[in-house]
């Protein structure tokens, strides 16, 4: 079984709709992240959390919100989806350790299309 899972894997929605992307992990990591990836722009950080109830904005948090109610789950919401939020979304986790131990482990991604 995968250590980091995301649901749904693909989603098509309409402008103005509210949608939620879910991320779950079995790695026991405290730190979780949401990124979006667009062609030519690389991975950009939306929100991150270092512990349950800890929420921090990344570089592109406008239009998004998150919830971290449990160590294993980190949800990303688009309150009112717009077409430029069409992207590939990745959840990632990491542990607090030394050096290489702090690498991030990524989920399989959610491909979102906003019409």
Give the CB-side neighbour count of residue 112, counting CA atoms within 13 A: 32
Site residues for another protein per CB under 8 A: 40-45, 48, 56, 58, 88, 90, 99-100, 102-109, 111
Question: Given the complex with another protein, which of 8 and 16 has the nearer CB atom?
Answer: 8
Question: Given the complex with another protein, which of 78 and 92 has the nearer CB atom?
Answer: 92
Question: Given the complex with another protein, which of 51 and 102 has the nearer CB atom?
Answer: 102
Report the alpha-carbon distance of residue 92 to residue 51 in Å, rounded.
14
Least distance CB 71 / another protein (angstroms) = 19
Least distance CB 102 / another protein (angstroms) = 7
Strands 10-13 and 110-114: parallel
Least distance CB 80 / another protein (angstroms) = 27
Report the alpha-carbon distance of residue 114 to residue 108 in Å, rounded.
20
Question: Given the complex with another protein, which of 6 and 85 has the nearer CB atom?
Answer: 6
- Ramachandran category for residue 109: left, alpha or beta (phi over 0 → left; psi -120 to 50 → alpha): left
């Amino acid at each position: 079984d995968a250590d980091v899972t995301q649901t749904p894997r693909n989603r098509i929605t309409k402008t103005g709709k509210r949608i939620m992307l879910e991320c779950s992990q079995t790695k026991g990591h405290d730190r979780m992240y949401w990124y979006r990836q667009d062609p030519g722009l690389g991975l950009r950080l939306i929100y991150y959390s270092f512990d349950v109830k800890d929420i921090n904005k990344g570089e592109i948090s406008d239009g998004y919100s998150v919830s971290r109610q449990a160590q294993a789950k980190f949800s990303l919401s688009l309150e009112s989806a717009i077409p430029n939020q069409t992207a590939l979304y990745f959840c990632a986790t990491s542990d607090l350790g030394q050096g290489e131990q702090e690498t991030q482990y990524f989920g399989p991604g959610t491909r979102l299309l906003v019409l």
